Amino acid sequence: MAEPSTQTDPTPAEPTTPPAADPTPSSAAPVDTQKVASEAQSELLKSLGFDNRDDLQSLVDAHNKEVAANQTELEAKSGELDKATTKLSKAESERDNALAQVAALKQGVDSDHLNDALALAKADLAGKVNGVKTIDDALAGVLERNPSFKGEQGATGTAVANQNLGGGTPIAVPDLSKISYEEAAKLKLEHPDTYKQAVAKLSN
């Protein structure tokens, strides 16, 4: 009788494990940012034509000084221009006033009423009253309204009352210095010939 064979279980294979990773992997060397920035700045300066930062700063400082000097000179010139403009305006004003005085005297304005006549004439001229365009026209209008500015008393003549202006009969030539502006205006409108005679008499 055959003997039973003895079989032995094969020895189980040991599990294979991957090699452990290196606990201290190699890493890149740290970057020196200050050195990189310095090199970049140096390259930029060279591309602009400067050897170092001090050369660039010197140029900037010189430019700023030039700008400041130009600004100071510009302010000085502006001040001189303002003074010259003021002097010119004053001279023109004095000239215009002198011409206005001459025009007033030529039209017979009395020296005692010169300032009043000129003030009214300039106001009329500025407001273009009755379409006046020159000081002569304005003065003529002022004297028409204020004949007493000529300083003539008018020894003869009769003051014109309102009722005298509307009638058809001849009326006396009035003394314009003794009637109101409204009466004079109405006389001029309704009796232009008589008004002319009154103006002529006032001018004599």
Mean per-residue pLDDT, 35-56? 80
* pLDDT value of position 14: 57
Count of structural domains, the chain: 2
Same domain, 142 and 184: no
Same domain, 72 and 115: yes
Spatial separation of the C-alpha atoms in residues 106 and 139, rounded to whole Å = 10
The answer as to whether 46 is a domain residue is: yes
The answer as to whether 31 is a domain residue is: no
Q: Is the pLDDT of residue 150 over 80?
A: yes
* pLDDT value of position 51: 77
Same domain, 85 and 178: no
Which residues are CB-contacts of 17 (< 8 A; sequence separation ≥ 6)? none
Mean pLDDT for the chain overall: 75
Nearest to 173 by CA among 203, 152, 200: 200
Same domain, 100 and 129: yes
What confidence tens digit (pLDDT) does each residue in 173-190 have?
Answer: 777 777 777 777 777 777
* pLDDT value of position 157: 31
Same domain, 84 and 133: yes
What confidence tens digit (pLDDT) does each residue in 10-44 have?
Answer: 555 555 555 555 555 555 567 778 877 777 878 88
Same domain, 126 and 145: yes
The answer as to whether 107 is a domain residue is: yes
Comparing 159 with 7, the larger pLDDT belongs to: 7
Same domain, 119 and 92: yes
Same domain, 45 and 59: yes
Residues 92-125: b if buried by 16+ CB within 10 A, e if exposed:
eeeeeeeebbebbeebbbeeebeeebbebbbebb
Nearest to 110 by CA among 141, 159, 157, 146: 146
Q: Is the pLDDT of residue 68 over 80?
A: yes
| Residues of the chain above pLDDT 90, percent | 1
Same domain, 137 and 163: no
Could you list the residue range(s) of the whole structural domain that residue 106 is in? 38-151
Which residues are CB-contacts of 45 (< 8 A; sequence separation ≥ 6)? 51, 52, 53, 55, 56
Same domain, 60 and 111: yes
Same domain, 124 and 92: yes
Are the beta carbons of 147 and 139 closer than 8 angstroms?
Answer: no
Comparing 165 with 13, the larger pLDDT belongs to: 13
The answer as to whether 21 is a domain residue is: no
What confidence tens digit (pLDDT) does each residue in 88-131 have?
Answer: 888 888 888 888 888 888 888 988 888 888 898 988 888 888 88
Same domain, 131 and 88: yes
